[in-house]
Amino acid sequence: MQTDSTPRPDLPEVPGTDHPLRAVVFDLDGVIVNSFEVMREAFTIAYAEVVGPGPAPFAEYNRHLGRYFPDIMAVMGLPPEMEVPFVRESYQLAHRVPLFDGVTETLTTLRERGLGLAIATGKSGPRARSLLAVLGVLDLFDHVVGSDEVPRPKPAPDIVLRALDLLGVAPGEAMMVGDAVTDLASARAAGVMAVAALWGETDEAALLRERPDRVLTSPAGLLAWCPAPVSG
């Protein structure tokens, strides 16, 4: 397992292949955007509106991030009706969600190097695209795929495979960058390099126990692993 603190110039190749990288698939929350405070507020409002008074169990919700919201509600035994106010508040608060430092510059450089870029998120596709548009970075991605746009959300491989299909690359030519165990599981099931992002509010110990192929502590660290693809 390599980290961005010890880059190797002979990389990247996906483990077990001789194919250079042609594309990067990203999770959204905790990787591209620092949405935790807004999610906490939206979740708290939705809980109070649907369930009633009392502390909203956001810490438990946070442990399931990466999954589709309805699936998290089922796992937690919470009413599925919470989705409507949660989504409503998420849209209304979107302007308060910041990008992580270095994300825009990293994405711009990756595009300049000719790599395909996609989002594979636990959010719905429309909500993810709306948020990225509000933040002014939607055009930096070739495709944005939401959990409502595939048969099975993470940890199944469907969303990553859909992104690869849209990008026109094989699993052996791509990496998936995520901050949740479900991201790494989805990446592995899809046959792509599984990269752990540690710059957000993530459970670092849980991610490292999954033995990701790469570990990054900043978005800019990705550039060491993603030189321009060799033509021909």
Q: What is the pLDDT of residues 188-221, one digit of tens each?
A: 999 999 999 999 888 899 999 999 999 999 999 9
Total residues belonging to the chain: 232
Q: Give the span between the Cα atoms of 59 and 189, in whole angstroms.
A: 27
At position 100, the amino acid (one-letter code) is F
Confidence of residue 63 (pLDDT cuts 50, 70, 90): confident
- pLDDT at residue 228, rounded to an integer: 67
Evaluate if residue 231 carries a pLDDT over 70. Answer: no
- pLDDT at residue 4, rounded to an integer: 58
Q: Give the span between the Cα atoms of 207 and 105, in whole angstroms.
A: 25
Domain 12-33+98-225, second-level architecture: 3-Layer(aba) Sandwich (3.40)
Question: Within a 10 A sphere around the Cβ of 98, how many other Cβ atoms?
Answer: 12
Evaluate if residue 12 carries a pLDDT over 90. Answer: no
**Cβ pair 71, 146 in contact under 8 A:** no
Confidence of residue 3 (pLDDT cuts 50, 70, 90): low
Evaluate if residue 8 carries a pLDDT over 60. Answer: no
Mean predicted confidence (pLDDT) in 158-183: 97
Mean predicted confidence (pLDDT) in 153-159: 95
- pLDDT at residue 7, rounded to an integer: 37
Counting Cβ atoms within 10 Å, is residue 100 exposed (0-12), middle (13-18) or buried (19+)?
middle
- Residue 102: which region, alpha, beta or left (left: phi > 0; alpha: psi -120 to 50)? left
Evaluate if residue 178 carries a pLDDT over 70. Answer: yes
- pLDDT at residue 14, rounded to an integer: 47
Q: Each residue of 116-152: pLDDT tens digit?
A: 999 999 999 999 999 999 999 999 999 999 999 999 9
Evaluate if residue 115 carries a pLDDT over 90. Answer: yes
Q: Which residue has the tokens 């949740």?
A: 180
Domain coordinates of the chain in residue numbers? Answer: 12-33+98-225, 36-96
* Token pair of 195 as six digits: 């990269």
Evaluate if residue 170 carries a pLDDT over 80. Answer: yes
Evaluate if residue 108 carries a pLDDT over 50. Answer: yes
Q: What is the pTM of this model?
A: 0.87
Q: Give the span between the Cα atoms of 218 and 73, in whole angstroms.
A: 31
